[in-house]
Amino acid sequence: MECLEQISALNIKEVSEKTHISVLEIEAIIRKDFSRFNHTKAVGFTKIFKRDYNIDLTPWLEEYEAQREKEEDEIFLVPEEKEKVAFRTKLTYVLTAILVALSAFLIFSSTDLQDIAMGDVQEKEVVAEAKRQLEENKKSPQKASFVEEETQELSQETLDLTQEEPVNEITQEVAIQEVEEIEKGTVEEEIVEEVQEEPKKVALFSRQKLWVSVVDNNTKTKDSTIFQGEYPLNPEGDYTIVFGHGYFDLINNGEIIESREGDIQQYRYSEGAFVKEQYVPEPKPETQTEEESNETAVEEEETE
């Protein structure tokens, strides 16, 4: 960059004495170490070098502005990326829970079917055995009564096995209902988390020291101070705000209003919104006119 080469060719100590810019800051300009400067200094140094040495630092200032905008974009993009990661994580948990529930249901169902099939086989074997016994005992009347009693017992066992089937069906219905309740509870928890909103944030912000006067219109109190960084406000409050010469931002629940005019400005915050107003200086205390002063002196003489 030609302008930086021109500065490097100068005697930095002499430049510092003439411009009142520290040696460290001049070296930072040459290195393009933008982290050492706020916007006011960057613009001011550009004007000083143009005035005292006729060196145009406009390309350097443009690169500074581009770097600053990039850093601000990164600051406001990080929360959005975090929200995307959180949503994907929740979705993964929900899908995993559904798959586990379905797997349990299928395993439970297959086990019940196997039990029913085994019962059918046992029942057929018992009936076949009973028929065989009847055929053998047709030739032996002495065993007829014994076979009849055993047949009744086998019929009762068959009836008991048949009555077990509704129990399995009821168990399956209970399992399905439990899975549906688990899925419903998971979805409801996710909906509650999404509905919960973050607390509203309202604040003033300045990267450099800036004078501000904040009047609380509800309590009729006034705070005049010099701040740097964040100056928080009550989101439910009503304020009249006057800024001194400088750049500042107005933060209203994620929305940022930038002011780069640099002169004295007045804003009103009311009902959750910032509105720019015409700056009205505070009235100065009235002084007595010459005629009033003379009348006061005459009254004091007459009193004496």
Confidence label for 152 from pLDDT (cuts 50, 70 and 90): low
Q: What is the pLDDT of residue 93?
A: 86
Instruction: Calculate the alpha carbon distances from 68 to 33, 38, 97, 154 in Å.
Output: 12, 9, 45, 91
Q: Which amino acid is at 71?
A: E
Domain boundaries, the chain: 2-56, 88-195, 202-277
pLDDT for residue 142 is more than 60 = no
Beta strands in 29-123 (DSSP E): none
Number of helices (H) and strands (E), helices first, in the chain? Answer: 7, 7
Q: What is the C-alpha separation between 35 and 42, in angstroms, rounded?
A: 11
The mean pLDDT value of the chain amounts to: 78
Pick from 109, 98, 91: nearest CA to 194 = 91
Within 13 Å, how many C-alpha atoms sit on residue 266's CB side? 8
Burial of 127 (0-12, 13-18, 19+ CB in 10 A): middle
Q: What is the pTM of this model?
A: 0.32
Pairwise CA distance, residues 252 & 201, whole Å? 6
Which residues sit opposite 227 in a β-bridge? Answer: 210
CA-based radius of gyration for the chain: 44
Pick 122 or 54 by higher pLDDT. 54
Give the integer Cα–Cα distance in Å for 138 and 147: 10
For the segment 88-111, what is each residue's pLDDT rounded down to a tens digit?
A: 888 888 889 998 998 888 887 766
Residue carrying the six token digits 């949503």: 87
The helix/strand/coil state of 109 is helix
Confidence of residue 124 (pLDDT cuts 50, 70, 90): confident
Question: In the chain, what percentage of residues exceed pLDDT 90?
Answer: 32
